[in-house]
């Protein structure tokens, strides 16, 4: 959580884009095969939520 608060707005936007791409790749990459880490998608989605929360808090 500290790492999110230390980043500036531009870095947060880039980080958000990167994490959303990870979720997309995970969803379509696992369609035909078994997943090793089934919690990876959940962790990534939670990280996206944390980033969005921080970005909205900065706007307010």
Per-residue pLDDT reduced to its tens digit, 21-53: 999 988 887 666 666 777 888 999 999 999 999
pTM: 0.82
Q: Which of 3-7, 13-17, 30-34, 35-39 has the highest mean predicted lDDT (pLDDT)?
A: 13-17
* Cβ within 8 Å of residue 1, ≥6 positions away: 50
* Cβ within 8 Å of residue 58, ≥6 positions away: 9
Q: Please report the pLDDT score of residue 32 as a whole number.
A: 65
Q: Which two tokens stand for residue 15?
A: 């980080």
Q: Which two tokens stand for residue 47?
A: 């990280």
Question: For the CA atoms of the chain, what is the radius of gyration?
Answer: 13
CA dihedral 51, 55, 2, 22 (to 10 degrees): 20
């Amino acid at each position: 959580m500290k790492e999110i608060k230390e980043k500036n707005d531009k870095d947060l936007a880039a980080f958000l884009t990167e994490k959303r791409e990870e979720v997309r790749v995970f969803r379509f990459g696992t369609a035909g095969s078994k997943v090793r880490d089934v919690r990876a998608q959940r962790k990534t989605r939670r990280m996206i939520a944390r980033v969005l929360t921080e970005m909205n808090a900065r706007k307010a």
